[in-house]
Structure 1
Amino acid sequence: MTDQRTPVVLIHGLWLHSSSWHPWTELLHAEGFAPLAPGWPGEPDTVPAARSHPQTMAGAGIDEVAEHYAALIKALPTPPVLIGHSFGGLIAQKLLGLGLGRAAVAIDPAPIKGVRPLPFTQLRSASPVLRNPANRSRTVSLTAAQFRYAFGNAITQQESDALFEAHAIPAPGRPLFEAAFANFSRKSPAAIDTGNTHRGPLLLISGQRDHTVPDVVTRAAYKLYGDSTATTDLKQLPDRGHSLVVDQGWRAVADCALGWLARQGITGRSSTAGL
């Protein structure tokens, strides 16, 4: 028996543990896909362990994270669908541009090289890391109040605090520095091959109340793909913040991604185990 299901690799961003994808993996299993939600390099298996041992993730940058996921992808039997949130969305775009994915969905993706807008809310969300250059080689934790501003501004205080307790972990500071200074670097790791005409289809999803990756940032990234004839779509979700993949409205985001994949001819149920 050979598993013919379409693999899906879920890539989280900063300050969320890979286990935060659990509702998504259950849904994808039910839809006939073969989902995987690996952690970042050095990420402990559980939220408590990640909080207790933050040093294991220190120093990981965009290239190291991309190479980590690329190695996992190359071991799969077929190219996967890539679904990423925040910096995971940047990584998903990078891997898709390298031809390592069948399609990609980038949800509130961190800014790629070439994105010019820099809204105040984005700077404030990143300030716990960027205010101290030494954080480039460290991991940084958010307080519940900082999480509320960066992730939970579009949900209730109670829900934001619950998500913080359930999923928040320290995050390496290096990716934020790399993205922040991408436009000043000739060989930035945040550079994406936006002109690639041979890549798979890409969907960018933007939460229009997001403080961490404001809508204008996602729209600017979308425009950078204008020279490519490969499919690139943008979906804007009103009244959604950066917590949109883990808060009580996650299912609407997942359904948006699944519906778009189906329109690209990519489903899970159509693939059954071979004989």
Structure 2
Amino acid sequence: MGTPVLFIHGLWLHASSWEPWIERFRAAGYDPQAPGWPGDADTVEASRRDPDAIGDHGIDDVVGHFAAIIDTLPAAPILVGHSFGGLIAQKLLGQDRARAAVAIDAAQIKGVLPIPLSALRATLPVFKNPGNKHRAVSLTAEQFRFAFGNELTQEESDELHARWTIPAPGKPLFEAASANFAPHSPAKVATGNENRGPLLLIASGKDNTVPESVTRATLKQYRHSAAVTDITTFPDRGHSLIIDSGWSEIADACLTWLKDHEL
């Protein structure tokens, strides 16, 4: 059996959106899986029908959920996370629960400032109502177009919205937004860990939700650790890069990086 790989989705996408990646990684000799977040149902449709099960799960809940899954694996996994999944992957890597991690357009960790205006607009559907901290919130096709599909045709963006989106808990966004004012914020990552496995940060040059500046600011948070921290930028891609028609370019870049580090 190959090295375990856990794919970790971010807000508004269902875990099944990783299916093409699972096939690509399995063909490369890995043992991949993509568990959902706490409260996620097995399908997109079932998740949409029960948003209350998804709401009010914060960062620590998700980290604990994936840590419990890791404990069942035969070996430390490689983690591949997108958006808030990228933040979760970094937390778990910093806790020495993973062999390596790839964080794609990862949500801002504690210490990253400021939050760009486009990121605030992308997350406005959550922040416009403080009560959303304890609820699950869905994106309209128009909101998804700005947050994810801004570099796609309208047709492709709408198709991805219809196929993969589910309600997302608002709590992680509120936690990340207040991270720099909270000494024990769940968005804090052990960036100074010298003994952790390698980390690859992937940035998208046209991402409205997690602009490239956020990923580069994240890279600076690791400056006090000698552990491997690499960054790769895809200048013309948006936040949809893991699910849109160009997903294989990103997947292959991850596989190449893993091979280069003999992982």
Q: Do both proteins adopt the same fold according to a TM-score greater than 0.5, normalized to the shorter chain?
A: yes
Deviations 1:186-226 (A, max 9, x none): 10000000000000000000011000000000000001100
C-alpha separation in 1, matches of 2:152 and 2:227: 35
Q: What residue in structure 1 maps to residue 100 of structure 2?
A: 103
- For structure 2, the 5+ residue unaligned runs are none
Q: What residue in structure 1 maps to residue 161 of structure 2?
A: 164
Per the TM alignment, residue 117 of structure 1 is displaced from its structure 2 partner at its CA by 2.2
Q: What residue in structure 2 maps to residue 273 of structure 1?
A: none
Q: What residue in structure 1 maps to residue 182 of structure 2?
A: 185
Matched residue SS, 1:239: coil
RMSD of Structure 2 on Structure 1 (CA): 0.5
Q: What residue in structure 1 maps to residue 211 of structure 2?
A: 214
C-alpha separation in 2, matches of 1:18 and 1:77: 22
Per the TM alignment, residue 57 of structure 1 is displaced from its structure 2 partner at its CA by 0.8
Q: What residue in structure 2 maps to residue 64 of structure 1?
A: 61
Matched residue SS, 2:102: strand
- For structure 1, the 5+ residue unaligned runs are 267-275
C-alpha separation in 2, matches of 1:117 and 1:248: 31
Higher relative contact order (CA 8 A, sep 6+): 1
Q: What residue in structure 2 maps to residue 150 of structure 1?
A: 147
| 1:152–1:160 CA contact under 8 A, matched in 2 | yes
Q: What residue in structure 1 maps to residue 259 of structure 2?
A: 262
TM-score, normalised with respect to structure 2: 0.99
| 1:117–1:220 CA contact under 8 A, matched in 2 | no
Which of 30, 34, 38 is 2:35 aligned to?
38
Matched residue SS, 1:118: coil
Matched residue SS, 2:190: coil
Which one-letter code corresponds to 2:10 in the other structure?
A: G
Whether 1:252 and 2:249 are equivalent positions in the alignment is yes
Q: Percent identity?
A: 58
Q: What residue in structure 2 maps to residue 135 of structure 1?
A: 132
Which of 106, 122, 125 is 2:122 aligned to?
125
Matched residue SS, 2:194: coil
Which one-letter code corresponds to 1:38 in the other structure?
A: P
Runs ≥4 residues deviating over 3 A: none
Deviations 1:249-272 (A, max 9, x none): 100000111100111111xxxxxx
| 1:93–1:104 CA contact under 8 A, matched in 2 | yes
Matched residue SS, 2:75: coil
Which of 73, 79, 83 is 1:86 aligned to?
83
C-alpha separation in 2, matches of 1:133 and 1:264: 44
Which one-letter code corresponds to 2:99 in the other structure?
A: R
TM-score, normalised with respect to structure 1: 0.95
| Count, aligned residues | 263
Matched residue SS, 1:226: coil
Q: What residue in structure 1 maps to residue 222 of structure 2?
A: 225
